[in-house]
A and B are shown apart, each in its own frame.
Chain A
Amino acid sequence: MENKYVLKMEGITKEYFGNKVLKGVDLKVRPGEIHALMGENGAGKSTLMNILFGMPVIHSTGGFGGTIEFNGEPVNIENPHKAMQLGIGMVHQEFMLIPGFTVAENVKLGREISKATIASSVFGKSLERLDKPAMAEDTRVALNTIGLGVEDYAMVAGMPVGYMQFVEIAREIDKTGIKLMIFDEPTAVLTESEADRLLDTMRVIASKGIAIIFITHRINEVIEVTDSMTVLRDGTFVDRLETKDTTAARIAELMIGRQVEKLVDDMEEDNRKISDEDIMLELKNFYVDMPGEKVKGIDLKLRRGEILGIGGLAGQGKVGIPNGILGLYPASGEIHFDGESIDPTKLGDALHKGIAFVSEDRRGVGLLLKESIEQNITFTATQIQGKFLKHFGPFTQVDYKATKKHAQDMIKALDIRCTGPEQYSGRLSGGNQQKVCLARAITMDPKLLIVSEPTRGIDIGAKKLVLELLAKMNREQGMTIIMVSSELNELRSLCDRIAIVSDGKLTGIFAPDASDAEYGLAMSGVTEGGNA
């Protein structure tokens, strides 16, 4: 393999509103090489790819630092069109296909072959007549290249998902002068055999001299198909490795990397009594059909009084667990909670039985942005438990006095920075919004509190406050907590045990001080284990 690079990105830096997301990253890819780009969520992979593809989001937020060389020439990629001209193609995670069109029409979407007509000489190119035979011919060539056995005139609607992915690939292949293709988590939606075929296809493409950047979380796929890889962590460049020189465990370790930052101060003495006998919540054979976060059969026990962390990479199903318990997405399986059973198909059942939930989607699910803080804090308790209501026979009225009083107490207790309980929750900063969400959960006096991604999108100071609050509630009030988070570091600093979910299944339960390699392997679903 010659040592000339088709793509050389050096010292790439990027800030979003003062927040450094890339801190000098290098990425080098040789022609005809399959190169994996590895890293946890938030490591900076998608930002890096957005820079490479010249996405508007990069340039509208002040551009980036560093240099890009493509094919040995320094280039300035100011928009996606330029990227395409250079010969960079992207296979999207979400299909950019039109189901009502034929394969040929989809492959040639926006790049139709057409012949001049009289109308087009007068009114311009857009009135040129489509040359359908030529389009079909090109499509057949592309389909043959990747070995997909469908007809060019078949409709995309109704095809298996795997085929659609291949049609997308055929489209990129068909673009003339393609030199580099980006595959953004292409196997996430495929069945096992489809994924195998995709990997084969990637090899075929690479053998034609086209370089591939392969973004995936599945370490075994990386080991199987790639030549080399770049590992990122928290916006920094960790290492560039040749695949043949490394192991799965090593990759996992590099991806996770122990951070020394301390998120929660040492708390007061721990006098909780946690016993393996006293089970508060038990999930048996639990399935959740949440798009992008499917849970595929989980058994899990939660002890009274503990903080249980649920970790794992994005899209692997950890977020699906609480959403399924709360009945927000179709779920099946048994849920035993404190002597009762919860029916996940019945919306609100979990709430009625004493579980409170703080959603990962703060602005979408967690808040009424155009309502006051007090309304937000008391809403669920009013609806579920009839708190803050005055009764007049069969009629009810919200007790606004009590609502306000309670909201003021909460504002004081949780230190919510606002102009008063009447302020709209949409006007608050992320950290304060999160506190409002927590306040709503606490207002319900739940037996079990489930928080999902409690620190997502809030600054480091607010992060610490939120985590300390959770710790305090657990220690002082003995509240049992399940915390779902993508940030392993955060889970490790707070939780008693951490369950790792991969591909919708539990791959292990670990003590917070288990090694990085153990966590990494569990996260990439390579082994099953755990000893906590």
Chain B
Amino acid sequence: MNNTLNKKTPAELVKNFVSDNKVILMFVVLSIVCILISGANVSYVAGEVFSRFGRNTCLVLALIIPCMAGLGMNFGIVVGAIAAQISIFWIVHWGFVGVPGFLLCVAMSTPLALLFGWLTGMLFNKTKGSEMVAGLVLGFFAAGLYRLFTLYIMGGVIPYDDPNLLDRGFGLRNAFDLTGNLKYSVDDITFLTTASVLGVVYLLYTLVVYLHGKKFGEGVDTKKFVMQLIAGAVVVVFGIVGKMIPFVATKLGKNRVILADAVMLLAVGLLVYAVVLFIKNRPAKGTPAFNKVLKFAVLAVILFVTNMIPGVNKVYRSVRLPAMTFAVIAFFAAFNDWLVNTRLGQNMRTVGQNRSVATSAGIDVDKTRIIATCISTVLAAWGQLIFLQNLGTFNTVQQQDNVGLYSVAAILVGGANVQKATNKQAVIGVILFHTLFVVAPLAATELVGDSAISEYIRMFFSYGVIAVSLAMHASKKGGKKAKAA
């Protein structure tokens, strides 16, 4: 295999790269063209894209697990979003605000989303082969029930005595304002606090792993455990002490981190990591381990240098990142990765590849599919909470409607298909899709003097990319079947 790869000429490599990434490349080109046409301010575009990235990525990451289990793109995440919105109505009504309010929303939406996910999973088991269209119709159907609930039942049948939120005595107002209660509740957590929290979580985790290992006699590495404890403690202490050091506090103690600072931090982090790796393993020159160290070091230098370029630095300085939100995104991605490597994840992959083989290997196919749907729905509910706390105000009745469409379109733009989707594709997809989302209206305004058309272009792209991706996948599948026949 390796030999044949090495034999490929550069031209072939380029050709392979292009054909493997044609969707991504098409969107990159399209985005660049739009930016050029619109003459948009890059700082503005970068700021918008990063803020949309923080808002949308969790929802998109919720699509990966059902895809792995062979359910295709889960348009049913709409019901997860509904679970999140219902929980917000009550938590806000009961007067909870800020981080506790957000955590209560999580706590309340989780069982709701599990219930909805379970029902969705049962529906998908009855519609094997057309899960995607079923998910889409389910979204519309659930939106109807939800509308009935918000407009007629809340305050009508169920007492909901909140004149500020109600329209004409019953039924929620059209727009639900989160300002002053949940808005930015996660986004505003500072980098230093995030570090402390993560440090504490890490300490607890290592402690539990250690005790667990001791209890079940799996053998524990006490030296490693101590090192882990020290590392965790350092992070916690950094988080606390950092607030008292003026320089650190101004950089990392505010509710957002400037991208320029984040880049520098990342560069320093990478460099430290590279040094630690080098000292620990002392790899000989030319070995893969050495190359790894080198790679990190070079990456750090590149980041450092880009930050020095005035134009780039200007863009970097204009983007502000919410630390905790990015940590949550990382957690979602890590969860997906972790699940793949469990028994359950392996079962899901098997079910996704071939249901009859899975059955013959003793896997309960229907149950596995329901679990995948439930996980996806819960992640979607949490993702929608992240989305809404950033947005600050939402359309009570219709907010969830396009959740499925935009998330699916984004991940497909990132190069995923109906059978295979990864974290990386989700991240790339969100960036590209939303870049286009931001710049297409600007370009349209520049071209035809009217931004109204951009809405159509956006929707056309969203649906078009889904239609093309589905058709390509279906025809590949059909072709294979014909070949086998």
Decide: A118 near B209, CB < 8 A? Known: A127-B342, A129-B342: yes
CA distance A257 to B123 in the complex (A): 54
How far apart sit A97 and B209, CA to CA, in the bound complex (Å)? 36
Interface: A72 (CB within 8 A): no
Complex contact A291–B361 (CB within 8 A): no
Find residues 285-342 in chain A having any chain B CB closer than 8 Å to their own CB.
291
Which residues 94-115 of A have a CB within 8 angstroms of B?
A: 96-101, 105, 109-112, 114-115
Question: Complex Cα distance A120/B218, Å?
Answer: 14
Residues of A within 8 A of B343 (CB): 112, 114, 125-128, 130
* Contact flag A109-B341 (CB < 8 Å), given A98-B350, A118-B209: no
Contact A110 B362 (CB under 8 A): yes
B56 / chain A contacts, CB cutoff of 8 Å = none
Query: What separation, in Å, do the CA atoms of A191 and B149 have in the docked complex?
Result: 65
The closest CB in chain A to the CB of B484 belongs to: A291
Q: How far is the CA of A92 from the CA of B356 in the complex (A)?
A: 13
Asked if A121 lies at the interface with its beta carbon under 8 angstroms from chain B, I say yes
- Pick from A109, A117, A291: contact of B357, CB below 8 A: A109
- Report chain B residues within 8 Å CB of A114: 342-343
1/0 contact trace for B341-378 toward A, CB 8 Å? 11111110110011011101111000000000000000
- State how many angstroms separate the Cβ of B111 from the closest Cβ of chain A: 16
Whether A126 pairs with B361 at a CB distance below 8 angstroms is no
Contact present for A100 and B346 (CB under 8 Å): no
Give complex CA distance A129, B218 in Å.
14
- Cα-based distance from A130 to B347 in the complex (angstroms): 11
Chain A, residue nearest B363 (CB): A110
CA–CA, A378 and B24, complex, Å: 55
Q: Is the CB of A118 within 8 A of B208?
A: yes
Cα of A118 to Cα of B356 in the assembled complex, Å:
31
Chain B residues with CB below 8 A from A109, complex form:
350, 357, 361
Q: Is B485 in the interface zone, CB < 8 Å from A?
A: yes
Within 8 Å by CB of B341, from A99, A125, A129, lies A129
Chain A proximity of B141: nearest CB distance (Å)? 29
A4 CB–B CB distance under 8 Å: no
Most buried by A among B208, B354, B356: B354
> Within 8 Å CB of B363, what residues of A?
110
Q: Which of B346, B347, B356 has the most A CB atoms < 10 Å from its CB? A: B346
CB of A417 within 8 A of chain B? no
Asked whether, in the complex, the Cβ of A126 is within 8 Å of the Cβ of B347, the reply is yes
In the complex where A105-B346, A116-B218, A291-B484 touch, is A96 in contact with B341 (Cβ < 8 A)?
A: no
Which applies to chain B's interface (DSSP): helix, strand, loop or mixed?
A: helix
A99-B218 Cα distance, complex, nearest whole Å: 34
Evaluate whether A116 and B216 lie within 8 angstroms (CB atoms) in the complex, with A98-B354, A291-B484 already known. yes
- A residues in contact with B212, CB < 8 Å: 116, 118, 121
Closest B residue to A98 using CB positions: B353
A59 within 8 A of B: no
Is A81 part of the contact surface with B, judged by Cβ < 8 Å? Answer: yes
Q: What residues of chain A lie closer than 8 Å to B361, measured between beta carbons?
A: 96, 109-111
Q: Residues of A contacting B356 with CB < 8 Å?
A: 96
Least CB distance, A376 to chain B, in whole angstroms: 25
Q: Which residue of A lies closest to B361 (CB)?
A: A110
Which A residues are in CB contact (< 8 Å) with B357?
96-98, 109
A contact residues around B209 at 8 Å (CB): 118
Q: Which residues of chain B are within 8 angstroms of A291 by Cβ–Cβ distance?
A: 484-485
Q: Cβ of A120: which chain B residues have Cβ within 8 Å of it?
A: 342
Is the Cβ of B341 less than 8 Å from the Cβ of A130? yes
Given A118-B208, A291-B484, CB of A130 within 8 Å of CB of B360: no
A125 proximity list for chain B (CB < 8 A)? 343
Nearest chain A CB to B335 CB, angstrom units: 11
Judge whether A126 and B342 touch: CB under 8 Å: yes
B353 touches A130 (CB 8 A): no
Contact residues in A for B350 (Cβ distance below 8 Å): 98, 101, 109-110
Write out the residue numbers on chain A whose beta carbons fall within 8 Å of the beta carbon of B349.
101
Contact B362 A112 (CB under 8 A): no
Task: Give the nearest-CB partner of A109 in chain B.
Answer: B361
For A115, A116, A126, A128, the residue with the greatest tally of chain B CB atoms inside 10 Å of its CB is A126
**Bound complex: CA A126 to CA B346 (Å):** 9
Q: Nearest chain B CB to A274's CB is how many angstroms away? A: 38
> Shortest Cβ distance from A509 into chain B, in angstroms?
31
Q: From residue 307 to 366 of chain B, which have CB atoms closer than 8 A to chain A?
A: 341-347, 349-350, 353-354, 356-358, 360-363
Taken together as a complex, chains A and B put the C-alpha atoms of A193 and B212 apart, in Å, by: 53
A121 to B215, CA, bound (A): 11
Indicate the member of B344, B353, B358 with the most A CB atoms within 10 Å.
B344
**Complexed CA–CA distance, A121 and B343 (Å):** 13
Q: Which of B218, B357, B358, B363 is most buried by chain A, counting CB atoms within 10 A of its CB?
A: B357
The answer to whether A127 and B344 touch (CB under 8 A), given A96-B357, A109-B361, A118-B208, is: yes
Chain A residues whose C-beta falls within 8 Å of the C-beta of B342 in the assembled complex: 114, 117, 119-120, 126-130
B262 to chain A, nearest CB (A): 31
Interface string of B204-223 (1 = CB under 8 A from A): 01001100100010100000
A485 to B384, CA, bound (A): 63
Chain A 498-519 against B: per-residue CB contact (8 Å), 1 yes, 0 no? 0000000000000000000000
Q: List 25 A-B contacts (CB under 8 A).
A: A81-B362, A96-B361, A98-B350, A98-B357, A99-B353, A100-B353, A105-B346, A109-B350, A110-B347, A110-B358, A111-B361, A114-B343, A117-B342, A118-B205, A118-B209, A118-B212, A120-B342, A125-B343, A126-B342, A127-B343, A127-B344, A128-B342, A130-B341, A130-B346, A291-B485
- A residues near B (Cβ < 8 Å) are 81, 92, 96-101, 105, 109-112, 114-121, 125-130, 291
What residues of chain B have their CB less than 8 Å away from a CB belonging to chain A?
Answer: 205, 208-209, 212, 216, 218, 341-347, 349-350, 353-354, 356-358, 360-363, 484-485
